[in-house]
Amino acid sequence: MQIKLFTIPVGDSGGALQEMNAFLRGNKILEVENHFVGNDNGAYWCFSVRYVERAYPEADKDAKKVDYRKVLDEATFEKFSRLREIRKRVAAEEAVSAFIIFTDEELAELARLDEITEKAMLGIKGIGEKKVERFAKYFITQPKTDETPGISD
């Protein structure tokens, strides 16, 4: 994590603000604090930005949508499709965007698992304890005789 400070005079013509906005667009921002300062030298805004540099910012621009039907074998794609349906239902119930629950990439990794468990979920990049706490119950593999929501092969 790094910190960058910006000082923008109240009467700024827009140049300092444009510089700050370009910086914000080009980095992963963790936190922004701002303070208004007025003294004998004038008035200005001071912004403290905590951020992480993007290793490959051009990769974000060139990212292409993955066709999981081509990437996954047929059985895994069917499981992936069922997981997407569960995600869609959970998103509606929780009133959140589907990608807040799990991204397609995370769902594909879940679909590749023989058995979906909390421990296995934590081994997938992008899935942490908070997501597991909140959403795992919907995706955990259940025995076929169990009536609880989940998936079964």
For every residue of 91-134, DSSP letters joined together read HHHHTS-HHHH--HHHHHHHHH-SS--HHHHHTSTT--HHHHHH
How many domains, the chain? 2
What is the Cα–Cα distance from 138 to 87, expressed in whole angstroms? 8
Residues 91, 42 share a domain: no
Q: What is the CATH number of the domain that holds 77?
A: 1.10.150.80
Per residue in 7-42, pLDDT (tens digit) is 989 888 878 888 888 888 888 888 999 999 998 888
Residue 127 domain-assigned?
A: yes
* Residue-range definition of the domain harbouring residue 18: 2-54
Residue 48 domain-assigned?
A: yes
Q: Kindly list the distances between the CA atom of residue 42 and the CA atoms of 8, 33, 47, in Å, as whole numbers in the listed order.
A: 11, 20, 16
Residues 73, 42 share a domain: no
Residue 60 domain-assigned?
A: no
- Under DSSP, the state recorded for 32 is E
Residue 153 domain-assigned?
A: no
Q: Return the number of other C-beta atoms located less than 10 Å from residue 132's C-beta.
A: 19
- Under DSSP, the state recorded for 14 is S
The mean pLDDT value for 38-56 works out to 84
Q: How confident is the model at residue 133 (pLDDT cuts 50, 70, 90)?
A: very high
What's the pTM value of the predicted model, to 2 decimals? 0.53
Residue 144 domain-assigned?
A: no
Residue 149 domain-assigned?
A: no
Residues 133, 107 share a domain: yes
Looking at every residue in the chain, the average pLDDT score rounds to 84
Residues 74, 43 share a domain: no
Per residue in 73-117, pLDDT (tens digit) is 999 999 999 999 999 999 999 888 888 899 999 999 999 999 999
What is the Cα–Cα distance from 76 to 112, expressed in whole angstroms? 6
Residue 30 domain-assigned?
A: yes
